[in-house]
Structure 1
Amino acid sequence: MKAASLVDIKKELREMDSEQMAAMLLRLAKFKKDNKELLTYLIFEAPDEDAYIDLIKEYVDDALDEVNTHSYYYAKKNIRKILRQLNKYIRYSGEKRTELELLLYFCLGVQKRDINIHGGSVLKNMYQSQVKKIKAAYGKLHADLQTDYKQEVEKAEDYL
């Protein structure tokens, strides 16, 4: 079966009534955890983006506290897992301010917990790629917001 294009799906959705659409969304949510998480974000979290950011920051804090700093191998695996989840949450939001704030929080959290990113190339490269994402998101923000985040961005860059 070939998937329909987004244009075709959009046309069909416009023609449906709200009961049919609700039934389809519920059915879609049953198939994958990611679909359910995205629907949860759109319905409950999107209206209050700041509360969503705080919720994700709590997750990052808890996850970074559990990173095994005694073994480079396990630290690397833990950091990858955190970043995979964090990037998924950032995709749900789609806002550059949210992306910047969460990635900055992650990088500053790594610094605060003294996770040795200089012990090998993999963790250092992961950290560097997050700094590149931060710079890209920073460049797309409004000038007023850029001044608010400038100091934190520089602090994240200086750790390398």
Structure 2
Amino acid sequence: MKAASVSQLKKELAFRSQDELLELCLRLSKFKKENKELLTYLLFESDNEAEFISEVKKEIDEQFAGINTRTWYFIKKSVRKILKDVKKHARYSGKTETEVELLIYFCAKLKSFPKPIHRNKTLQNLYERQLQLINTKLEKLHEDLQYDYRLQIEEFNL
């Protein structure tokens, strides 16, 4: 079965009643955890972006605290998982400011990690790619926000 395009889905959803849309959303939320998380964000957390960011930062802190530091393999695997979660939350928000703030926080946590990341080429490359992504995203923001985020980057010595 081939999935319909977004425009086809939009046209079809326009013809559905409110009850049918509600039923479709609930059914969709039952199939994938990400669908349920996105729906939760849209319904409960999108109104207060600052609270959402602080919750994600707490989650990042917990994940970094739980990293197994015995071998570089486990560290790399855990850091990649944390980055995947950060990007997922940024995608839910859809706001460049949120993505930049979360990526800056992730890079700051990674840089302050107990084992120095410059000893591992993979982690160093991951860190540098995220810094490049932050700089690319910063160019899309308003000048005042760019200045504020650049101050944060300097504060963390990223």
Q: Same fold (TM over 0.5)?
A: yes
Answer yes or no: is the 8 Å Cα contact 2:107–2:127 preserved in 1.
Answer: yes
1:70 CA displacement = 3.7
Number of aligned residues: 158
1:153 CA displacement = 2.5
Q: Which residue of 2 aligns with 1:17?
A: 17
Structure 1 stretches of 4+ moved >4 Å? none
Q: After the TM superposition, which residues 50-65 of structure 1 pair with which residues of structure 2 at under 5 Å, given as runs?
A: 50-65=50-65
Q: Find the residue that maps to 2:153 and give its secondary structure.
A: helix
TM-score by length of 2: 0.93
The 2-side partners of 1:152 and 1:72 are apart by 28
Query: Which one is further off, 97-106 or 128-137?
Result: 128-137
Give the structure with the larger helix fraction: 1
1:150 CA displacement = 1.1
Answer yes or no: is the 8 Å Cα contact 1:96–1:141 preserved in 2.
Answer: yes
Q: After the TM superposition, which residues 1-160 of structure 1 pair with which residues of structure 2 at under 5 Å, given as runs?
A: 1-154=1-154, 158-159=157-158
Q: Which runs of 5+ in 2 are unaligned?
A: none
Answer yes or no: is the 8 Å Cα contact 1:135–1:153 preserved in 2.
Answer: no
The 2-side partners of 1:84 and 1:6 are apart by 24
Deviations 1:68-126 (A, max 9, x none): 33421111111011111111111111111000100111111122333421112111111
Q: Which runs of 5+ in 1 are unaligned?
A: none
Q: Say what the alpha-carbon RMSD is for the aligned residues.
A: 1.4
The 2-side partners of 1:155 and 1:74 are apart by 29
Query: Identity of aligned pairs, percent?
Result: 43
Q: Find the residue that maps to 1:2 and give its secondary structure.
A: coil
